[in-house]
Structure 1
Amino acid sequence: MSDQSPPQAKRPVSAPLAGPYGHPFHPILVTVPIGAWVTSLVFDIASHVVDRPGFLTQASEWLIAVGVIGALLAAVVGFLDLFAIPTATPAFRTALLHMTLNLLVTAAYVVNFLWRHADYTDGGSVGIGRLVLSAISVAALGVSGFLGGKLAYRYGVRVADEHTQAEGYTTGGRPRNARPAA
Structure 2
Amino acid sequence: MSAQQHQAKRPLTALAGPYGHPFHPILVAVPIGAWVTSLVFDLASLVVPEPAFLARGSLWLIAVGVIGALAAAMFGFLDFLAIPPGTPAFRTARLHMVLNLLVTALYGAAWAWRATGAGTGPVQAGQIALSVVALAALTVSGYLGGKLAYRYGVRVADENTQQEGFRS
The TM-score bracket by the shorter chain reads over 0.9
**Largest Rg, 1 or 2:** 1
Contact 2:8 2:82 in 1 (8 A): yes
Which residue of the partner structure matches residue 38 of structure 2?
A: 40
- The TM-score with structure 2 as length reference comes to 0.97
Q: Which of residues 75, 81, 84 in structure 2 aligns to 1:86?
A: 84
RMSD between superposed Cα atoms in Å: 0.9
Residue 121 (structure 1) shift = 3.2
Match for 1:6: what amino acid? Q
> Which residues of structure 2 form unaligned runs of 5+?
none
2:143 paired with 1:152: no
Separation in structure 2 between the aligned mates of residue 138 and residue 50 of structure 1, nearest angstrom: 23
Match for 1:120: what amino acid? A
2:88 paired with 1:63: no
2:142 paired with 1:170: no
Which residue of the partner structure matches residue 129 of structure 1?
A: 126
Q: Deviations over 1:107-128 (max 9, x none)?
A: 0000000000011132x10001
2:41 paired with 1:21: no
Match for 1:125: what amino acid? P
Separation in structure 2 between the aligned mates of residue 121 and residue 165 of structure 1, nearest angstrom: 50
Contact 2:8 2:154 in 1 (8 A): yes
- The TM-score with structure 1 as length reference comes to 0.90
Match for 1:169: what amino acid? F
Aligned length: 167
> Which residues of structure 1 form unaligned runs of 5+?
172-182
Q: Which of residues 114, 118, 131 in structure 2 aligns to 1:116?
A: 114
Match for 1:94: what amino acid? T
Structure having the larger proportion of residues in helix: 2
Q: Deviations over 1:2-51 (max 9, x none)?
A: x5562110000111x11000000000000000000000001101110111
Runs of 4+ in 1 over 3 A off after TM superposition: none
Q: Which of residues 25, 28, 31 in structure 2 aligns to 1:30?
A: 28
Q: Deviations over 1:125-167 (max 9, x none)?
A: 0001100000110111000000000000000000000000001
Fraction of identical pairs, as percent: 67
Which residue of the partner structure matches residue 139 of structure 1?
A: 136
Separation in structure 2 between the aligned mates of residue 6 and residue 115 of structure 1, nearest angstrom: 43
